[in-house]
Amino acid sequence: MPVDFSREYRRKLISAKEAAGLVKSGMWVDYGAICGFPSLIDEKLAARAAELKDVKIRAEHSHTVIPRHDPSQQHFIHNSWFLGKVEREYTRNGACSYIPFGLGEGPRMYRQWLKDAVDITFIEVTPMDKKGNFNFGAAVTRQKAACEVAKKVVLEVNEYMPWVFGGYDESVGISQVDHIVENYEYKIPEFPAAVITPQDEAIAGLLAEQISDGATIQLGVGAIPAVVGELLIKQNLKDLGIHSEMFNDSMMELIEAGVVTGKRKTLDPGKSVFCFAAGSEKLYRFMDKNPALAGFPVDYTNEPYTIAKNDYQIAINGALRIDLRGQVCSESVGTRQISGTGGQLEFTRGAYMSRGGKAFICLHAARKDDNGKLISNIVPTLELGDMVTVPASDVSRVVTEYGTVNLKGLSVWQRAKALISIAHPSLRDELTQAAISAGFITRGTVGLGW
């Protein structure tokens, strides 16, 4: 006879206010990542600010309101694994700190380094199924590992969370849960599509030319991946696969158009593999119990040797700046943190190791400052305080709206000349002089082609 878990469910059910009341001064509290963000509990915890002191919170790409209630950090110390728009503003105002790490480290980070440092974890999940399981849905990432080590596990149930088939570690059983909160007030976060520029369209066009039938793709965050998806549909490519950290609207559209089938994948054939999703409500509905999708923890999706098992793996990621030696900064402007390392380095390495694979770093050649002056994003050296997201030794293909170059096997003088060739035309002479002054382009190489 099937076990009825409803009695245990009712016994563990508490209000969001009661859940927030579990938090005591000095505790470490971990939130679920991205769409696993517990919106209702966060609201109730923020309301308790005056009662608490030195509560440390770890979150990721969250929509938290806590730093807004406590901008001076008298009560809460907010920390983020990866900054989204909301947390970016808090960081600018000194109310949030970044945690440097590679995204694929997440589960190990909890099971090894933080195993005694999580007092409570609050995670958004699906409603319970008949077997007593809750699914992490659009945010498998590192959630199961957090549940394993937390002293108290509190799930916030949301009917809008899609049930995503795994993989593994995509669900948690009611026996592993201390408390349950039902959230009928907030949907899971939506992430609006980025504004697409002519530069994005030009870069996407160059990228689409590099992708052939049967390739497996990873698309990072931003406008360029969205345009790449549109172009791949127009090019009538066949049997593409997906192995990515993020699943987004562009990928959904590729599946709906029949471009992505996964038939030729050498790893997990027929399945679009990812560890989290970020997009529209339509995307989340599409994901719900979709047998073509497989949600895995991030130490599977982002492990470079696992990525490399996909033949013809394509990795497409964006950057803020690249210097003339090939160092890539994708996450900060000087000491001001913009986002995080994420999985960019892991996918750059994994795609490069893949048989027939390609790893692309994409960026606009230039931008305009507040005074309208044109500033190159290809720079002689990174700014003081810039975080190096991808070391020069790992970078291969770099794309701007002016072309594509491959830095592998090139000396520094060749790299400098190659990158200058895809810089904004009006800034190339200036960059060349800077490269000569820095000694990147040497006396004997000034007149040589790269």
Task: Give me the residues paired with residue 332 across strands.
Answer: 337
Q: How far apart are CA 423 and CA 378, in angstroms?
A: 6
Cα–Cα distance for residue pair 367/226, rounded to 1 Å: 20
With 0-12 / 13-18 / 19 or more C-beta atoms within 10 angstroms meaning exposed / middle / buried, residue 39 is buried
Residue 263: partners with Cβ closer than 8 Å, 6 or more residues away: 239, 241, 269, 270
Separation between Cα atoms, residue 425 and residue 430, nearest integer Å: 10
382: Cβ–Cβ under 8 A, 6 or more apart, which residues?
A: 321, 323, 327, 329, 388
Q: Look-up: residue for tokens 């293909």? A: 397
Neighbours of 5 (CB within 10 A): 17
Enumerate the β-bridge partners of residue 329.
321
Identified catalytic residue from 43, 245, 346, 401: 245
Tell me how far apart the alpha carbons of residues 242 and 218 are, in angstroms, rounded to a whole number. 6
Using CA atoms in the order 251, 253, 258, 263, what is the torsion angle rounded to 10 degrees? 10
- Residue for token pair 């969370």: 161
Distance CA(431)–CA(376), nearest Å, equals: 9
Quote the distance between the C-alpha of residue 341 and its chain's center. 8
d(CA 210, CA 382): 28
Terminal alpha carbon distance of the chain: 73
Q: Which backbone phi and psi does 154 adopt, to 5 degrees?
A: -120, 120
Helix (H, G, I), strand (E, B) or coil at 380: coil
- The partner residues of 336 in beta bridges, in order of sequence, read 333
How many other C-beta atoms lie within 10 A of the C-beta of residue 418? 20
Strands 216-219 and 241-242, by their bridges, are parallel
- Active-site residue flag, 124: no
Long-range contacts of 407-410 (CB under 8 A, 24+ apart): 407/326, 410/450
- What are the φ/ψ torsions at residue 298 (nearest 5 degrees)? -70, -20
Residues with a catalytic annotation lie at 245
